[in-house]
């Protein structure tokens, strides 16, 4: 079903105009925003497949996903998902995640709502002469660390907001960029409280 065939009339009171299905969303849809969600889940076999399957089955986007155990004794993992959609779709994503039996909590850790986001990247750059010197100079500006070097290459470790890493990678491209490995976004709420 595409958007074009949805019969549309002027919205009336109490009637939502959002697309009912995430499949109806197109890039030009107004009101699409990005959200970072942290799911605290029981670390049991298949839990990641459940979460990912929910996104693919219901047509939701995953822009970034990271997962790791955070509490071995409590068998808990934290899955951080960057997704996008209209407010309605994002609200559904949260509720559908909570329907999954092993999902204990879903926390909105989006930057704009008080979350602090970080991503780590390993960036391999190969080159000689001026390009090599320039890549090292830029890495200092980005506070990247050199974690491996040969006469003709560096591997940089760089941490920051995703946009910062995008920028770093772009700057390295003409200087001999070979390979990039990124963790995906991690996020946590600012302040002293435990979220959720």
Partner 1 sequence: MDGNSKMETQAPKQGLGDQQLTGAEIVLRALADQGVDTIFGYPGGAVLPIYDAIYAQQQVRHILVRHEQGAGHMAEGYARATGKCGVALATSGPGATNMVTPLADALMDSIPMVVFTGQVPTHLIGSDAFQEADTVGITRSCTKHNYLVRDVNDLARTIHEAFYVATHGRPGPVLVDIPKNVQFAKGNYVGPEAIEHRTYHPRTEPQDKRIEEALALMAGAQRPIIYSGGGVINSGPEASQALRALAKATGWPVTSTLMGLGAFPASSPQWLGMVGMHGSFESNNAMHDCDVMLCVGARFDDRVTGRLDAFSPGSKKIHIDIDPSSINKNVRADIPVVADCGKALKALVNGWSKKVGKSPDIKPWWKQIDEWRARKGFAYPNSKKLIKPQYAIERLYELTKDRDTYITTEVGQHQMWAAQFYHFQEPNRWMTSGGLGTMGYGLPAAIGVQAAFPKALVIDIAGDASVQMTMQEMSCAIQHDLPVKIFILNNEWMGMVRQWQQLLHGERYSHSYSDALPDFVKLAEAYGCHGIRCEDPANLDAAIMEMIDTPKPVLFDCRVEKAENCFPMIPSGAAHNEMILGKITGEEIGEAGKMLV
Q: Which residues here bind partner 1, judged by CB under 8 A?
A: 1, 5-9, 11-17, 20, 42, 45-46, 49-50, 53-54, 57, 75, 88, 91-92, 95-96, 98-104
Closest contact distance (angstroms) between CB of 7 and partner 1 is 5
SS3 87: helix
Please identify, using beta-carbon distances, which residue of 58 and 124 lies nearer to partner 1.
58
Write the CB contacts of 38 (distance below 8 Å, at least 6 apart in sequence): 78, 79, 80, 81, 106, 107, 109, 187, 188, 195
Residue 138: C-alpha distances to residues 56, 60, 128, 148 (Å): 39, 37, 15, 16
Closest contact distance (angstroms) between CB of 86 and partner 1 is 12
Phi, psi of 44 (to 5 degrees): -120, 160
Please identify, using beta-carbon distances, which residue of 47 and 144 lies nearer to partner 1.
47
Please identify, using beta-carbon distances, which residue of 35 and 132 lies nearer to partner 1.
35
d(CA 70, CA 34): 25
Please identify, using beta-carbon distances, which residue of 10 and 28 lies nearer to partner 1.
10
Closest contact distance (angstroms) between CB of 99 and partner 1 is 5
């Amino acid at each position: 079903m595409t958007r074009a065939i949805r019969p549309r009339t002027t919205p009336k009171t109490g009637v939502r105009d959002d697309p009912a299905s995430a499949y109806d969303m197109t890039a030009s849809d107004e009101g699409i925003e990005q959200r970072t969600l942290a799911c605290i889940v029981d670390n049991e076999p298949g839990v990641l497949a459940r979460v990912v399957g929910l996104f693919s089955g219901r047509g939701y986007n995953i822009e970034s996903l990271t997962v790791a155990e955070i509490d071995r004794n409590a068998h808990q993992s934290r899955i951080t998902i960057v997704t996008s959609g209209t407010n309605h779709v994002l609200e559904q994503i949260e509720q559908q995640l909570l329907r999954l039996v092993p999902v204990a909590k879903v926390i909105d850790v989006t930057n704009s709502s008080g979350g602090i986001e970080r991503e780590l990247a390993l960036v391999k750059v190969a080159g000689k002469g001026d390009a090599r010197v320039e890549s090292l100079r830029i890495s200092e500006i980005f506070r990247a660390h050199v974690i491996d070097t040969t006469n003709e290459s560096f591997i940089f470790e760089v941490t920051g907001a995703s946009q910062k890493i995008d920028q770093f990678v772009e700057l390295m491209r003409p200087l001999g960029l070979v390979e990039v490995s990124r963790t995906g976004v991690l996020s946590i709420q600012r302040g002293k409280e435990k979220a959720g």
